[in-house]
Amino acid sequence: MPRNVYTADHETFRETAREFVERSLKPRAQQFIDARSIDREVWIEAGKQGLLGLEVPETYGGSEARDFRFNAILAEELSKFNAAASSCFGIHTDCVAPYLVDLGTDEQKQRWLPGFCTGEIITAIAMTEPSGGSDLAALKSTAVRDGEDWILNGSKTFITNGYQADLVVVAARTSPDKGAKGITLFGVETGMPGFERGRKFDKVGQDESDTAELFFTDVRIPGANVIGEVDRGFIAMMERLPQERVGAAVSNSARPADPGRDDRLRQGTQGLRSADRFVPAQQVPHRRALQTKLEVTQAYVDDCIEAHNERKLTAIDAAKAKWWSAQVQNDVLDACVQLYGGYGYMNEYRVARAWRDARVTKIWAGSNEIMKELIGRDLGL
């Protein structure tokens, strides 16, 4: 099926994104794995290519595209390189950007957004805590007012870009008795006394992404770093999670999972192998089924991209796109590993890496169980 979601302008932008992948990411692939992060100089290169400030007004150094299809193109191209690149840049461009752009004060925008666009300020968003991430309203980190400032205590875990982020949007409880209505967002910056990072996690997949624990001990946060309104942080997150989820769905459905169509999936240390080696005749119907699953999923995700662009995407549709695409991605990649036989289980084969990388998509951005819970509630179940 031809895709209708993109115009010629988007396809031109795709070339920029592809060029960035070819020139700045591919040659350093092993370096990222060894460092468990994407180097800052690569972020700066992304900034120079205009890839980071897609949602940021021109006054603050962005391109003010106001069109999520550009974000989606970037996510697709990064995902084709690897899932970790898509998640690291996606957290910055799709997840954090809306908090700073929609909710930031003029002073905050002047302070943070130009560096956000050049890649000099790498960002993260910290919601999940060691006690649990699914029930956001129950988060335990606290921020207590002290004159004009706030004193932040607590910890966060599994934070993408957490180790190298210069600015972290942190959700903390500001009104102990008000549940979801007592949470506020704060901009926590590198160098603030009492803000420390734990280790970079050793993950099952997405080796290249920096995923870390963050600790806050009596961190003094100036009132000027409150993002949005006090006690309205939960609502701010709920309003912006659909964009995170549709972005996740784009990455989930963009991953090349069909060995017959992607040379990278056939490359091993022994060089290029013939597609036939991996696709015996009896597997052909199976491959057709996989391809169908991917294309049908992508069609729904494309509709979500368009709806989001028109500000019509509901939280429920975003939840459907997120869980369905994550499930299909995992099913398809698992079948691809099977198709490759023993080779599919070898890390040197791209399909094995893609399979490991994909596992987390059913867990993060709101687990698939939570997505189904939201859909069930909407149906009155």
- Residues belonging to the active site: 244
Q: Which of 96, 127, 290, 294 binds ligand FAD (CB under 6 A)?
A: 127
Helices (H), 82-154: 83-90, 97-98, 106-118
Tell me how many residues contact ligand FAD (CB under 6 A): 21
Strands (E), 13-91: none
**191 CB neighbour count, 10 Å cutoff:** 6
Is position 376 an interface residue for ligand FAD (rule: CB under 6 A)?
Answer: no
Of the two residues 130 and 280, which places its CB atom closer to ligand FAD in the complex? 130
Least distance CB 182 / ligand FAD (angstroms): 18
Tell me which DSSP letter residue 319 carries.
H
Nearest approach in angstroms of CB 132 to ligand FAD is 4
Rule CB under 6 A: is residue 83 a binding residue for ligand FAD? no
Q: Please report whether residue 140 would count as binding ligand FAD according to CB under 6 A.
A: no
C-alpha dihedral (364, 366, 369, 371), degrees to nearest 10: -130
Tell me the window of 36-44, 51-59, 129-137, 293-301 that interacts with ligand FAD (CB under 6 A).
Answer: 129-137
- Residue among 56 and 91 whose Cβ is closer to ligand FAD: 91
1 DSSP 8-state letter: -
Q: How far is the CB of 364 from ligand FAD (least distance, A)?
A: 4
CB 206 within 8 A of CB 32: no
- Three-state DSSP at 313 gives coil
Q: Which of positions 178-217 make contact with ligand FAD (CB under 6 A)?
A: 203, 211
Is the Cβ of residue 226 or residue 371 nearer to ligand FAD in the bound state? 371
| Member of 85, 113, 126, 337 binding ligand FAD (CB under 6 A) | 126
278 binds ligand FAD (CB under 6 A): no
Is residue 149 classed as helix, strand or coil in its secondary structure? Answer: strand
Figure out which of the listed residues 149, 231, 373, 378 binds ligand FAD, where binding follows CB under 6 A.
Answer: 373
- Give me the least distance between CB of 25 and ligand FAD, in Å please: 19
- Residue number of the CB atom closest to ligand FAD: 133
Mark residue 231 as left, alpha or beta (left: phi above 0; alpha: psi -120 to 50; beta: remaining). left
Q: Which is nearer to ligand FAD, 78 or 127 (CB)?
A: 127
We find the least distance from the C-beta atom of residue 314 to ligand FAD, in angstroms, to be: 20
Task: Tell me which residue has tokens 């991430």.
Answer: 133
Nearer to ligand FAD, 213 or 302 (CB): 213
Residue span binding ligand FAD (CB under 6 A) among the ranges 38-46, 96-104, 121-129, 240-248: 121-129
Q: How far is CA 56 from the centre of its chain?
A: 18
Question: What CA–CA distance (Å, rounded) separates 54 from 71?
Answer: 7
Using CB under 6 A, which residues numbered 160 to 179 contact ligand FAD?
160
Judge residue 366's burial from the number of C-beta atoms within 10 Å of its C-beta, 0-12 exposed, 13-18 middle, 19 or more buried: buried
Asked if residue 364 binds ligand FAD (CB under 6 A), the reply is: yes
Q: How far apart are CA 150 and CA 173, in angstroms?
A: 11
As a whole number of angstroms, the distance between CA 37 and CA 164 comes to 8
Can residue 89 be called a binding residue for ligand FAD (CB under 6 A)?
no
Given the rule CB under 6 A, which of 111-119, 123-131, 268-276, 344-352 is the region that contacts ligand FAD? 123-131
Asked whether the beta carbons of 16 and 192 are under 8 A apart, the reply is: no
Piece in contact with ligand FAD (CB under 6 A), picked from 130-138, 183-191, 259-267, 269-277:
130-138
- If one asks whether residue 337 binds ligand FAD (CB under 6 A), the answer comes out as no
Long-range contacts of residues 30-34, Cβ cutoff 8 Å, at least 24 apart: 32/84, 32/85, 32/207, 32/208, 33/207, 33/208
Is residue 91 at the binding interface for ligand FAD, with CB under 6 A as the rule? yes
Strands 167-173 and 123-126, by their bridges, are: parallel
What CA–CA distances, in Å, run from 277 to 286, 340, 364? 15, 8, 35
Which residues sit at the interface with ligand FAD, rule CB under 6 A? 91, 124-128, 132-134, 158-160, 203, 211, 360, 363-364, 367, 369-370, 373
